Structure 1
Amino acid sequence: MTGPDQPSAGQDRLPVAGGRRTWAWLRRRLGAQWTGVTWAALVGVLGAAASVVPAYALGTLVDRVREHAPASALVAIAAVIVVAAVAGGVATGAGTYLIGRVCGHVLADLRERTVARALSLPVTTLERVGKGDLLARVSTDVASIGKAATSVVPSLISAFLLVVLSLAAMAGLDWRLGLAGAVAIPLYVAALRWYLPRSAPKYAGERRAVGDNARLLAESMQGVRTVHAYRLEQRRLHDIHQASHQVRDIAVSVFTLFTRFVGRVNRAEFFGLAAILVAGFLLVRDGSVTVGQSAAAAVLFHRLFNPIGMLLFTFDEVQAAGASLARLVGVIDLAPAAAPADGGDPGEPADTSIRLSGVHFRYDGGPEVLHGVSIDVAAGARVALVGSTGAGKSTLAAIAAGILRPGGGTVRVGGVALPPDRLRARVAIVTQEIHVFAGPLIEDLRLARPGASREEVRSALAVVGALEWAKALPDGLDTVVGEGGHELTTVQAQQLALARLVLVNPPIAVLDEATAEAGSLGARTLEEAAAAATRGRTTLIVAHRLTQAATADRVVVLEHGRIVEEGTHQDLLAAGGRYVELWRAWEAHTPTSSSRQAPQRANLVRTPESSKS
C-alpha cells in the first residue's frame, strides 16, 4: 500500500509515491546495507581529511618562506603535501567505489522489486494505465537512478564531507576566519530555498511527460497495424509531436531555472571569498593570524567552489533521480493481485474438470460484464464459447485461466477452489496476442520449460506441425528470432505459442482467439495444430471461427455476459436460436470450401476474438 502522502493514481497513470514514503523506503534499503555504508563513511571521512591537509601545509609553507626557513624544512612540507594528496586520492577513490557498491546493491534491489511487482499487478490495472507508463518507469526511470547512483551520489557524498571538514579547518585556523567563510552559507541556503520549491514540480512533471510520450510511442508501435488500417498515422504523429514538444518545453524550462540558480550560487561564492580576504587582511594587520594562515583559509574556501558546486549543481540530477525513485516506489507499493483469504490447504483436485459457478466480473468499477455465469467442463472435454464481440467470452476465459479474479462466484478444478498461483499452474492459456521473444528459437521455446532437451523441443514442434519450417530456418533451432532477428509469420508465431503449451503440458488448456489473425489456409493449419496440442486435455475454446465450435463436445453461447444457449453443435442448430444466427452469419462470410468442410474435420481447435470480448 502506498503511504498517506502518496497521491492516488489517475485513471490513466500509475501512482507516484510521496516524499516521506520514498525516503522511508530508501532508508530501509540503506539500513540493509549498513556494513557497506559504515565503511564507505569511514573511508570518505579519511579521504576528505587528507584533502584538507595540503591547504594547511600550504599556509605553513608560506610562513616558512617569509621566515627564510632552510630548504630542508620546505622540502619536508612539500613532501607532506604530496603524501596527503596521494593518500587523499586513494581514499577518495576507495570511498567512491564503496559508495557505488552500496548504491549498486540498492539499485539492483529496486529493479527486482519493481519488475516483480509489475509482473504481479492485476491485468485490469495494466490495461487501465497502458504499457507505456510502466515501460518508462522500468527503463528511463531506472536509468536515471542508475546514472545518479553510479556517478552523482559518490561525488556528492565526497563533496559534502570535504565541505564540512574544510569549514572545520578554517575555524581551526581562527574562528573569525571560519565565521567570515560562513557568511556565504545564508546565501547558499537562500539559493536552494529559491530553487528547490520551483524545481521539484518541474522534474516530476518532466518524468510524467516522458512517461506519456513513451506510452504514445509504445501504443503506436504495438498497434501499428490498426493505425495503418484506420489511417490514423497523421493523428498519432500529431499526438506524439505534441507530447514530444511538451517534454522539450519542460526540459528547457528546467534548464532556464537551473541557470538562474547558478547565478545565485556564484554570488554566494563571491561574497564568501571576499569576506575571507577582507577578514584575513584585517587579522594579519592586527597580528592575530599569520599570512600563511590567511592564505590557507582563502585556499580552503576557494577549493570549496567545486564541492559546493557539486552539491548544488547536481541537484538537477538528484531531483530527476528523486522523481524517478518516487515513480518506482509508487509501483512497488501498488497492491498485487488480491489473494484469497487463507482457508488452509484446499487439497488436490480429483480430476482435470473445471467448473465456473455464478461468476460475476466488472473492469475497474465499470458496468458488470459477466452476470452469474456457470459453466462445467468435464475432464478431457472440449467446450467452445461463442457469441458477439463484447459478450464476455475472453473475460470468462481469463477467469478460467486464473488471469482475472472474479468479483463473485468460484472457479474449481476437480472440485477444489485453488488459489490463483495453483490455478495458473494447472491451466495454460494461448491467445492471439503472441509475442516472439528475441533470441534463439530453441530458447524461446524453453521459456515454457527451462532445461527442456533439444529432442523435447523438436517433439513439441512436431506436434504442432512446425518442425519442418523450423529446421528450414537459416540456423535451424538456433536461428535468432524476435526483434532484430529472423521474422516469423503470424502462423509460425502462433505455432510457437502452441508448442510452448505442449512443453508446459498442462492438464487444462484455454485457447482465446488463437487463430483469429490468420487467413483461411493459415487458420486451418492452426486449428489442426491447436487440436494436436490440446489432445487429451480439458479444453475451453473462445471460438472466433465457428468450425471450432462445430467440433467441440459442447457449445456455450454468451450474449451480454449471460449464457443464452448451451448444447452440442447439432442440437443448437436444431434449436433455431442465437447459435443458428451466428452460424449462418459465419457461413455467409466464409468460402464454401472452408465453411462446409471444416465441420467434417474431427480434430479442429479454437480461436478467439476481441481481447476483452
Structure 2
Amino acid sequence: MTEEKLPIASGRDTARGLLAALGRRRGLTIMALVTLCAGVGAALVAPWIIGLMVDDITRGGGSLLPYGLALVGSLTVGAALTWAGRVLLARLGQGTIREVREAAFRTALAQPTARIEAAGTGDLVARLSGDVRAVGQVVEEALPAFLAALFGIVLSLAGMGLLDGRFALAALLAAPVQYFSLRWFLRRSAPVYRRHRAVVAERGQRTIEAVRGVDTVLALRTEEQHLERIAEASEQAIGLEVRATKVRNDFNVFLNGAELVGLSAVLVVGYFLVADGQVGLGAATAAALYFLGLFGPMGTLLFRIDELQDAGASLARLFGVIGLPKPAPREGVAAPRRGAIDVQDLGFAHRPGQRDLDAVSMSAEPGEKIAVVGASGAGKTTLARVLAGALPHGEGAVRHDEVDIEAWHPHDLRDAVVMLTQEPHVFAGSIRDDLALFSDADEEEMRREIDQLGAGWILALPDGLDTVVGEAGLPLTPGQTQHLALVRVALAAASVVILDEATAEAGSADAELLDQAALAAIGGRTGIVIAHRLSQAVTADRILVMQDGRVVQSGTHDELVAAAGPYAELWAAWTAW
C-alpha cells in the first residue's frame, strides 16, 4: 500500500477559506480592527504633545501642567482602547479557529476510514492538535502584536508626514533595507517551516505506531529499532529548529542596520530643517520620537511575520483536510442489510514488495460465525481491517451484500459493519453516555443487553448507568473495559460484527466470561472473530486458518482437527498447554 498523505491547501485556498470564516463574523472583525487602531492612534498623540511642550519651553512658556494632563490622557485612552481591541481580536480569532478545527474534524470523520488509515493517523492527529495549537498561540499572542505594530507604523509615518513630509521620506530610507531583509528571510525560512511541520507529523506517526503495537514490539524485541526511528525524526526536527534560529538571528542583524539608516536620516534632516528655520525644535523632536517609536513596532512586525508564517503553514494543513472530497449525501433509505460477505482473490501490501494478503478468497452467509486463526503475522488483523473498510484493498474484490465495498457510502458502511479491536476505548462520561454513542437505545434495552452479556457489574457500580468513567472518572480494569465495549457492540444495529482479538486483554478469570459475552454480542448477525484463543474457534460455524497472508485451511473445528495440517498442530499445542 502506497501512503497517500493528506493534502496541504495552497496559499490562495487557505486565504479564501480564512476570509470566508472571518466574513461570517464581519461585525466583530470591523469592531476589533477599528478599536485596536484607535487605541494605537490615541497613544501616538503623545510624541506630538511632547513636541508642542518643547516649543513652548523654548519660547519661555508657562505651566507644563496642561501638557502633562494631555499626555496622561492620551496614554490612558490608548491603553484602554488597545486592551479592548485585543480582547475583541482574541474573541474573533478563537471563534474562527474553533470553526476551522470543527470543519476539519467533521470532514475527517466523513472520509472513508481507509483514506485516513492510508495517510497515517499521526498526520491527522498532528493537524487537529499541534497545528490547531500553533494557530491558537499565534492568534492569542502574535496576531494582536502584529496588527498593533502595523497600525503603529502607518500612523507614525502619517504623523511624521503631518509635521513635515521630509521627515517621513527620511524614515522611509530604511524601507528598502527592511524589504530586502524580509524577502531574504521568507525565502530561507518558508521551506524550513514546511519541512519542520512534516517531520513533526512523521514523528507523531512513528510514535503512535509504536504505542499501538507495543505488545508486538516487545514480543519481537524491536524496541531499539522503533526508538531509533523516533529519534531520527526528532533529530531532524531539532536540526530544522537550529536552522530556523540561525536564519532569525541573521535577520535581526539586517533589521538593526535598517534602524541605523533610518534614524540617521531623520536626525540629519531634522538638523538641517531646524538650522534653516523651516521647522521648530519641537517638530524635529516629535519626528525623532515617532521614528524611535517605530523601532519596537517594526521589529515586532517583521519578527511576527515569522510566527504568522508558521501559523499559515498550520492553517494550510487544516484547510487541506477541510478540502478533502466529501461523500455525496445519502440518497433515499439504505437497503436492508443482510450481512453477506464475499471476498475474491484479495491482495494487500502495507509496503511495496511485501505481501500481507495474497489471493485470499472467502465468503460468509448472513448470520454465519467465522473464526480466523493463525500465527502472529499471518495476516488476520489485516484481513479484518480490510473487511471493515479500515484499509483499502489493493487487488481482488470485497463485497458486502453483493455491493463492492468501495461503492458503499462511508456512513452506511460504518452502520453496517462494526469492528472491535483488542484496545477498546472508554469514552469520558457516564456509562449511559458511552453506550448511547452508537445507538439510540433506551435504558430498558441497555439493561437487557447488559444482562444477556453477563455484565451485571455495570449496574452494581456506585451510580449504575450514571457512573462516570474514563478520564477523571472511575477507572475500569482491562477486562471491564472490553466487557463494556462488547455491550456497546451488542447495542449497535450493524449486520456484521468483526472482533479482532477483542477479548485478548482478559485474564484467565475473565476469559470464559468475555468469550461468552462476545458470542452474545454477535447474536444472530454475521460474525468474523480473529481468535487468539482456540477455545473461541471451537464454537464457530467455520474456521479459516491463515499462513503468510493466505487462507490455507477452511472447515469446522471437527473437520480440521481430524485432518492433518496447521490447525491440528495448533490445536494439539493448545490442548497440551
Q: Does TM, normalized by the shorter one, top 0.5?
A: yes
* 217 and 425 in structure 1: CA distance in 2 versus 1, 3 angstrom threshold: closer
C-alpha distance after superposition, 1:361-408 (max 9, x if no partner): 645796694758462423x44344556767765555445545456676
Q: 2:574 aligns with which of 590, 593, 600?
A: 590
Alignment of 1:30 with 2:26, yes or no, is no
Q: Distance in 2 between matches of 1:201 and 1:167?
A: 33
Partner of 1:53: 45
Q: Distance in 2 between matches of 1:236 and 1:372?
A: 30
Q: 1:255 aligns with which of 239, 242, 245?
A: 245
Alignment of 1:345 with 2:332, yes or no, is yes
Read off the aligned partner of 1:218 and give its amino acid letter: I
Q: Distance in 2 between matches of 1:220 and 1:364?
A: 16
Alignment of 1:525 with 2:509, yes or no, is no
Larger RCO (CA under 8 A, 6+ residues apart): 2
Alignment of 1:137 with 2:127, yes or no, is yes
Partner SS, residue 497 of structure 2: strand
Partner of 2:81: 91
* 429 and 210 in structure 1: CA distance in 2 versus 1, 3 angstrom threshold: closer
Q: Distance in 1 between matches of 2:522 and 2:408?
A: 22
Partner of 2:31: 39
Q: Distance in 2 between matches of 1:231 and 1:46?
A: 64
How large is the Cα RMSD of the aligned pairs? 3.7
Alignment of 1:63 with 2:51, yes or no, is no
When the two structures are superposed, what TM-score results if normalisation uses the length of structure 2? 0.86
Partner SS, residue 69 of structure 1: coil
Deviation at residue 149 of structure 1 after TM alignment: 0.8
Deviation at residue 421 of structure 1 after TM alignment: 1.4
Deviating more after overlay: 456-465 vs 499-508 = 456-465
* 10 and 418 in structure 1: CA distance in 2 versus 1, 3 angstrom threshold: closer
For the 8 Å contact 1:373–1:561, the answer to whether it is kept is no
* 24 and 519 in structure 1: CA distance in 2 versus 1, 3 angstrom threshold: same
Read off the aligned partner of 1:202 and give its amino acid letter: V
Q: Distance in 1 between matches of 2:76 and 2:55?
A: 24
For the 8 Å contact 2:113–2:389, the answer to whether it is kept is no
Counterparts of 1:447-462 in structure 2, within 5 Å, are 447-449=437-439, 453=443, 457=446, 459-462=448-451
Alignment of 1:382 with 2:369, yes or no, is yes
**Gapped regions of structure 1 (runs ≥ 5):** 1-8, 594-613
C-alpha distance after superposition, 1:536-595 (max 9, x if no partner): 334343444444443234456677877777665556667x4xxx62431231221359xx
Q: Distance in 2 between matches of 1:584 and 1:571?
A: 10
For the 8 Å contact 1:445–1:499, the answer to whether it is kept is yes
**Gapped regions of structure 2 (runs ≥ 5):** none
* 236 and 544 in structure 1: CA distance in 2 versus 1, 3 angstrom threshold: closer
For the 8 Å contact 1:403–1:424, the answer to whether it is kept is no
C-alpha distance after superposition, 1:328-387 (max 9, x if no partner): 233333446xx5x889536531x6342437585645796694758462423x44344556
Deviating more after overlay: 192-201 vs 120-129 = 120-129
Deviation at residue 39 of structure 1 after TM alignment: 2.2
Query: How many corresponding residue pairs?
Result: 572
* 235 and 354 in structure 1: CA distance in 2 versus 1, 3 angstrom threshold: closer
Deviation at residue 311 of structure 1 after TM alignment: 0.4
Deviation at residue 246 of structure 1 after TM alignment: 3.2
* 388 and 458 in structure 1: CA distance in 2 versus 1, 3 angstrom threshold: same
Partner of 1:291: 281
Matched residues, percent identical?
39
Q: Distance in 2 between matches of 1:543 and 1:234?
A: 29
Q: Distance in 1 between matches of 2:321 and 2:403?
A: 36
* 474 and 536 in structure 1: CA distance in 2 versus 1, 3 angstrom threshold: same
Partner SS, residue 433 of structure 1: coil
C-alpha distance after superposition, 1:291-348 (max 9, x if no partner): 1111111111111111111101223322322222233233333446xx5x88953653
When the two structures are superposed, what TM-score results if normalisation uses the length of structure 1? 0.81
Alignment of 1:534 with 2:519, yes or no, is no
Q: Distance in 2 between matches of 1:28 and 1:488?
A: 45
Counterparts of 1:389-400 in structure 2, within 5 Å, are 394=381, 397-398=384-385, 400=387
Deviating more after overlay: 211-220 vs 56-65 = 211-220
* 587 and 555 in structure 1: CA distance in 2 versus 1, 3 angstrom threshold: closer
Q: 2:158 aligns with which of 154, 159, 168?
A: 168
Partner of 1:466: 455
Partner SS, residue 44 of structure 2: helix
* 307 and 122 in structure 1: CA distance in 2 versus 1, 3 angstrom threshold: same
* 475 and 526 in structure 1: CA distance in 2 versus 1, 3 angstrom threshold: same
Deviating more after overlay: 431-440 vs 145-154 = 431-440
Counterparts of 1:162-561 in structure 2, within 5 Å, are 162-335=152-325, 339=327, 344-345=331-332, 348-349=335-336, 352-356=338-342, 360=346, 362=348, 369=357, 371=359, 373=361, 375-378=363-366, 380-385=367-372, 394=381, 397-398=384-385, 400-403=387-390, 409=397, 411-413=399-401, 419-438=409-428, 443-449=433-439, 453=443, 457=446, 459-468=448-457, 470=458, 482=470, 488-518=476-506, 522-555=510-543
Deviating more after overlay: 171-180 vs 387-396 = 387-396
For the 8 Å contact 1:385–1:393, the answer to whether it is kept is yes
For the 8 Å contact 1:216–1:240, the answer to whether it is kept is yes
Deviating more after overlay: 236-245 vs 170-179 = 236-245
Q: Distance in 2 between matches of 1:498 and 1:343?
A: 29
* 231 and 186 in structure 1: CA distance in 2 versus 1, 3 angstrom threshold: same
C-alpha distance after superposition, 1:248-267 (max 9, x if no partner): 33323322321221122122
Deviation at residue 528 of structure 1 after TM alignment: 0.8
Q: Distance in 2 between matches of 1:221 and 1:22?
A: 33
Q: 1:20 aligns with which of 12, 16, 29?
A: 12
Deviation at residue 173 of structure 1 after TM alignment: 0.9
For the 8 Å contact 2:346–2:398, the answer to whether it is kept is no
For the 8 Å contact 2:339–2:525, the answer to whether it is kept is no
Q: Distance in 2 between matches of 1:129 and 1:428?
A: 22
For the 8 Å contact 1:124–1:364, the answer to whether it is kept is no
For the 8 Å contact 1:353–1:414, the answer to whether it is kept is no
* 32 and 371 in structure 1: CA distance in 2 versus 1, 3 angstrom threshold: farther
